[in-house]
Structure 1
Amino acid sequence: MPGGGFSRLPNGSVVVALTLPSPDRMTHVRILVHAVNRARALTRLRNLGMRAVYLRGNAQPPSPDEITAVLHHPDGLLWRAAPQEESELWHPIRALLGEGV
């Protein structure tokens, strides 16, 4: 299930989507990051304590709905359970990592 991908936007920035194990290691989460480039997106996640985050390939790029969600969030960093449930909304990254972030 882990995987990810990216989409380059018309303004040159990127949205990176990664499916990773959740902190409890029992489920997976889909994380979206908006950044200037792919390297910066991964750096943002590593700075939050996700040290072993890599993007290899583009097998699971973000959907248009995911891109819209992350572009409209002030932090540009969201997550939700994967596979998603119909009623689940996107959450700020602080809800996944704890309030100390």
Structure 2
Amino acid sequence: MRFIVHAQNRARALTRLRNPGLRAVYLRGNTAPPTPDEITAVLHHPDGLIWRTAPDNGVAVATELWRPIRRLLRA
């Protein structure tokens, strides 16, 4: 999975991920710079935390939409 977190620093990004219950998350940094659609999606989402699956080759499927964190935690 690829998570995009809108935060001022790494510590706040980790807090934003761990608050909803993702305790075992480790930030490895960006494998690639955020794309314009990723930046737009996270800036316009009220939680500032979105996700989508990432295939094994590291390239996200262009047709897959970003989803809010609440949708992942309900599943």
Per the normalisation by structure 1, the TM-score is 0.59
| Structure whose CA Rg is larger | 1
Rounded Cα–Cα distance in structure 2 between residues aligned with 1:58 and 1:89: 19
SS of residue in 2 equivalent to 1:42: helix
**5+ residue gaps, structure 2:** none
Give the number of the structure whose residues are more often strand, by fraction.
Answer: 1
Identity of aligned pairs, percent?
A: 73
Q: Please, what is the CA RMSD of the aligned residues?
A: 1.9
Give the number of the structure whose residues are more often helix, by fraction.
Answer: 2
Rounded Cα–Cα distance in structure 2 between residues aligned with 1:31 and 1:57: 11
- The answer for the alignment partner of 1:13 in structure 2 is none
Per the normalisation by structure 2, the TM-score is 0.76
Indicate the structure whose relative CO is greater, using CA pairs within 8 Å and at least 6 residues apart.
2
Aligned residues: 71
